[in-house]
Amino acid sequence: MPLALTKPTQRTPSTAQQFTYEDFLERYDGIRSEWVQGEVVIMSPVSNIHQRIGNLLFRILSDFVETGDLGQVFQAEFQMKLPAHRAGREPDIFFIAHEKLAKLKTNYFDGPGDIVVEIISPESIERDRVTKFEEYQEAGVQEYWLIDPLNQQVNFFELNTQGQYHAAYIEVNGTYRSKVLAGLWIKTEWLWQTPSPLMSHIRQELGLS
């Protein structure tokens, strides 16, 4: 029997086929998708700019984390499970601190990452800005980076002591300094440069080389 692929705009809880998370991991391996309340949501293919920005941020985070042996950084299509929401999300990028790596499973990370990065696509605006915002906030993701290539807009959210996201401070020159990864900073202008700035130059600026 063919798999029931459910598009994001066609989720119908009363009729959609239900899967356990284990079934989802087995059946949809290699397919860009998420598991939400027992239903499978198929993700649209990403654009060139989405891929370029994602690759740049992944390399920056990976280089910084590896240099300091601070944990691990993952890129889609690896899953992040949020048990309280019965959701298996596939962030574009997420960072896990070293002390949480015991929760790393073969096919997914069991719990929220410390930093999550989502790059908005036209079909994911509500999902990223509303649904995932609420899920990540409630799950305890410490920093949520939300990148909007179409409008060249970046929002960095940090979890406060009340467990609520607040907009993080971005310096006048467009620099954001992470609280989770002390010493890491991002120039938002890097994201819009085509081609992307050379990693050798970024590593120099960050003091990694």
Query: Do 98 and 141 fall within a single domain?
Result: yes
Query: Do 21 and 113 fall within a single domain?
Result: no
Query: Do 35 and 61 fall within a single domain?
Result: no
Query: Do 23 and 76 fall within a single domain?
Result: no
Give me the average pLDDT of each 10-residue run along the chain (209 residues). Answer: 40 59 91 92 91 97 96 94 92 97 95 97 93 96 97 97 96 96 96 94 89
Q: What are phi and psi of 163, to 5 degrees?
A: 75, 25
- CATH code for position 165: 3.90.1570.10
Beta strand pairing call for 115-119 and 143-148 = parallel
Contact 152/166 with Cβ under 8 angstroms?
no
Query: Do 30 and 95 fall within a single domain?
Result: no
What is the DSSP code (8-state) at residue 128?
Answer: I
Contact 21/35 with Cβ under 8 angstroms?
yes
b/e code 59-73 from CB counts within 10 Å (16+ = b):
bbbbbbbeeeebbbb
Number of neighbouring beta carbons within 10 Å of residue 16? 16
Q: How would DSSP label each residue in 37-49?
A: TTEEEEPPPPPHH
**Secondary structure of residue 64 in the 3-state scheme:** helix
Query: Do 184 and 160 fall within a single domain?
Result: yes
Query: Do 100 and 15 fall within a single domain?
Result: no
Q: What is the pTM of this model?
A: 0.89
Q: Which two tokens stand for residue 42?
A: 């198929």
Residues, the chain, total?
209
Query: Do 191 and 164 fall within a single domain?
Result: yes
Would you state the pLDDT for residue 30?
A: 86
Would you state the pLDDT for residue 142?
A: 98
Query: Do 176 and 120 fall within a single domain?
Result: yes
Give the chain's domain count.
Answer: 2
Tell me the residue range of the domain where 4 lies. Answer: 1-43
Q: In sequence order, which residues have a C-beta less than 8 Å from that of residue 110 and are 6 or more positions away?
A: 81, 83, 103, 104
Query: Do 30 and 50 fall within a single domain?
Result: no
Would you state the pLDDT for residue 84?
A: 84
Query: Do 2 and 50 fall within a single domain?
Result: no
Q: In sequence order, which residues have a C-beta less than 8 Å from that of residue 172 and are 6 or more positions away?
A: none
Would you state the pLDDT for residue 7?
A: 40
| Strand boundaries in 98-203, DSSP class E | 108-110, 115-119, 143-148, 153-159, 165-167, 175-177, 185-187
Where do we find the tokens 């299509």?
A: 77
* CA-based nearest residue to 191, from 74, 94, 52: 52
Q: What are phi and psi of 43, to 5 degrees?
A: -90, 145
Number of neighbouring beta carbons within 10 Å of residue 118? 25
